[in-house]
Amino acid sequence: MKYLGPWTAGDLSFGLRALTDAHLKKAPQDPPEGDAVHDMQLISTWVREVEVADAVYEASADAISKACSLEPDDVVSFRATSDHLQPAYCLARSVQHRQILLVVRGTKSIYDALTNLAGAYEAVEGGFAHHGMLKSAQWLLEREGHRLRSLLQQHPGYELRLIGHSLGGGTASLLCWLLHNMPPDMPDWKPHLSSISCIAFACPPVLTSDLARSCSGHTTSIISQHDMVPRTSLSSLEELRKEILATKWPDQLRDQVLGKRLGALAQSSIASAADHYEHAAATLNKLL
């Protein structure tokens, strides 16, 4: 059997099936704890921002400005293609909403996929971060940091809103975390911190739990019910593997195969006996 790291092909097929069957036998789980959101203005803002996150997948700055209801001149910078650890993104200003928008694109190219796969943990102060997306956030900060500060200085009262979906959400949230944790020798950002926030849609796990909780004051993560992306990390995959192994799927598979063989043998024996009975009955009829 071919091994895939700590996983086997059996774990990924028979094991997942056994785990699914085990979950289906359990009683339905209560819905997650939390408060329902009834603020329609907030919901409307989120809907607009997810449309902005989607617009950055467009191929041109003009298409983005139309999708986001911006003037063409409001698109300050647009990078349509990505490279390894260097995501595509759009930097724009929204006069209507008094915002500077930095929107990071999610997975679209092979380079984006490679960034996703660079999921090793990197040690940071207080915990660990997703290596690939942290490097992408650091690259963005180095590339656009000066321009972001200049835009905030040129537009007093504007908010810097970082937006992203999936890979883009992970990168945007890490960029927001970096900005809110600037070292003391970089004081230029301090006057702007209260106006810097992030909204991430389908954001993968990019920080260990304590660090993630520390971001609650400036970052919002929107997850669509059972979406697996925000729940997939090296640690969650290891927990999944442990749960699969706990099903003892090889024993279940052996019992199923043995049961089918015994069932087939029994059916064959019954069929054979029936044939013998019919033959004996036919012979007896001839004699009579």
218-251 per-position pLDDT tens digit: 999 998 877 878 887 777 777 877 877 777 767 7
Residues 197 and 65 both lie in one domain: yes
CA distance 81 to 59: 9
Residue 12 domain flag = no
Residues 155 and 211 both lie in one domain: yes
156-167 per-position pLDDT tens digit: 999 999 999 999
Residue 1 domain flag = no
Residues 163 and 252 both lie in one domain: no
Residue 235 Cα distances to 131, 168, 214, 240, 272, angstroms: 14, 21, 20, 9, 55
Residues 169 and 281 both lie in one domain: no
For residue 266, what are the domain limits?
A: 247-287
Residues 101 and 220 both lie in one domain: yes
What percent of the chain is modeled with pLDDT above 90?
Answer: 43
Reading the block at residue 132, the tokens are: 């690939």
pLDDT at 128: 92
Q: Is the pLDDT of residue 141 over 70?
A: yes
CA distance 254 to 249: 8
Residue 13 domain flag = no
Contact 249, 18 (CB under 8 A): yes
181-213 per-position pLDDT tens digit: 988 777 678 888 899 999 999 999 999 989 999
Residue 118 domain flag = yes
CA distance 141 to 136: 9
Residues 116 and 256 both lie in one domain: no
Residues 263 and 169 both lie in one domain: no
Residues 145 and 187 both lie in one domain: yes
Residues 280 and 209 both lie in one domain: no
Contact 149, 188 (CB under 8 A): yes
Q: What band does 32 get if pLDDT is binned at 50, 70 and 90?
A: low
Indicate which CATH number applies to the domain containing 93: 3.40.50.1820
Residue 192 domain flag = yes
Mean pLDDT of the chain: 80
49-80 per-position pLDDT tens digit: 999 999 898 878 888 888 888 888 999 999 98
Residue 122 Cα distances to 15, 115, 126, 135, angstroms: 30, 14, 11, 10
Cβ atoms within 10 Å, residue 238: 11
Domain total for the chain? 2
Residues 259 and 119 both lie in one domain: no
Residues 142 and 270 both lie in one domain: no
Residues 168 and 121 both lie in one domain: yes
pTM for the full model? 0.76
